[in-house]
Amino acid sequence: MGVLLLLMTICGLILAGLLLAISYSTKKEWLKYFVFGGLTTWFSFYIIIFLVSSIFSVEQTLSWNQPKEFCGFYFDCHMHAAVTNVTKSKTIGDKTASGEFYVATIRVSSDAKQAALNLVSPEFEVVDAYGKRYKREASLEKPMPAWDQSVPAGGSFDKDVVFDLPSEIKNPRLDVRDGYGIDRVIESVLVGDEDSLGHKRCYFKLDDGNQVAQR
């Protein structure tokens, strides 16, 4: 629905531009007022739908092995990611955590029928019960496979993401975002999109309701 409304808005703006050009060239004042009236009505409707969608959205938290979909070009929602396992450790190699290292195994998969697809510059953060965000320890992660590597149709790969989290952290959840640049700009005003302004997000559980395994 969000993509359709955005496409209608873009097409409407193009049509409005043409009609305004005609109104000025032919000096038809009624046409100019008609166009501005139509634009005002449409954008008022869009803003109301956008606000209602964001305000009444519901936060979700996915359990282990429960996939979250990501939509390329906003239509082909074939890429998925899921947390399949989490381990905790005080040390990784010669590195010691300030709190505890959480190592979350992410399965990136595609249910496409033919084409190979990939995530686009995915970002990972952990959010606690109070909304505080924690960045990943990318230097402790294995470089391969790359997060944005192509996944063949029906294929998948596993990769670990590492966080140094306080020992007393409450309700840690993983937030995964996909896309960059113009994608983020478009999604910020897309009705019903998780990345739209004010919309509640979909997270991954890191404890799965049980004590995570120790390493």
The predicted-structure confidence for 109-145, as pLDDT tens digits, reads as follows 999 888 888 888 899 999 999 999 999 999 999 999 9
Q: Torsion angle, CA of 159/163/167/170, rounded to 10 degrees?
A: -80
Q: What is the pLDDT of residue 180?
A: 74
Residues 51 and 92 in one domain: no
The alpha helices in the chain, defined as continuous H runs, are 2-26, 29-55, 182-188
Mean pLDDT in residue range 3-17: 88
Mean pLDDT in residue range 193-211: 81
Residues 24 and 75 in one domain: no
Q: What is the pLDDT of residue 1?
A: 65
Question: Where does a domain end: 22, 40, 55?
Answer: 55
- Is omega for the bond preceding 145 within 30 degrees of 0, making it cis? yes
Task: For residues 40 and 59, give the distance between their C-alpha atoms in angstroms, rounded to a whole number.
Answer: 32
Question: What is the span of the domain harbouring residue 148?
Answer: 60-214
Question: Where does a domain end: 11, 29, 55?
Answer: 55
Task: Give one DSSP letter per residue of 139-179, joined into a string.
Answer: GGS---S-TT--B-TT-EEEEEEEEEE-TT--S-EEEEE--
Residues 17 and 100 in one domain: no
Residues 42 and 116 in one domain: no
Q: What's the pLDDT band for 213 if we cut at 50, 70, 90? A: low
Burial class for 41, CB neighbours closer than 10 Å (0-12, 13-18, 19+): exposed
Task: For residues 83 and 157, give the distance between their C-alpha atoms in angstroms, rounded to a whole number.
Answer: 12
Q: What rounded mean pLDDT belongs to the chain?
A: 88
The percentage of the chain sitting over the pLDDT mark of 90, rounded to a whole number, equals 66
| 49-65 tens-digit pLDDT | 999 999 999 999 999 99
Burial class for 11, CB neighbours closer than 10 Å (0-12, 13-18, 19+): exposed
Residues 77 and 144 in one domain: yes
Note the pTM of the prediction, 2 decimals.
0.79
Helices H / strands E in the chain, number of each: 3, 10
Residues 128 and 51 in one domain: no
Q: What is the pLDDT of residue 169?
A: 94
Provide the domain count of the chain. Answer: 2
Q: What is the pLDDT of residue 113?
A: 87
In which region does residue 73 sit, left (phi positive, over 0), alpha (psi from -120 to 50) or beta (all else)?
left
Residues 96 and 148 in one domain: yes
Q: Assign residue 116 the CATH number of its domain.
A: 2.60.40.1240
Residues 94 and 158 in one domain: yes
| 145-183 tens-digit pLDDT | 999 899 999 999 999 999 999 999 999 999 998 877 777
Residues 71 and 48 in one domain: no
Q: What's the pLDDT band for 185 if we cut at 50, 70, 90? A: confident
Residues 110 and 35 in one domain: no
Residues 93 and 171 in one domain: yes
Residues 116 and 194 in one domain: yes
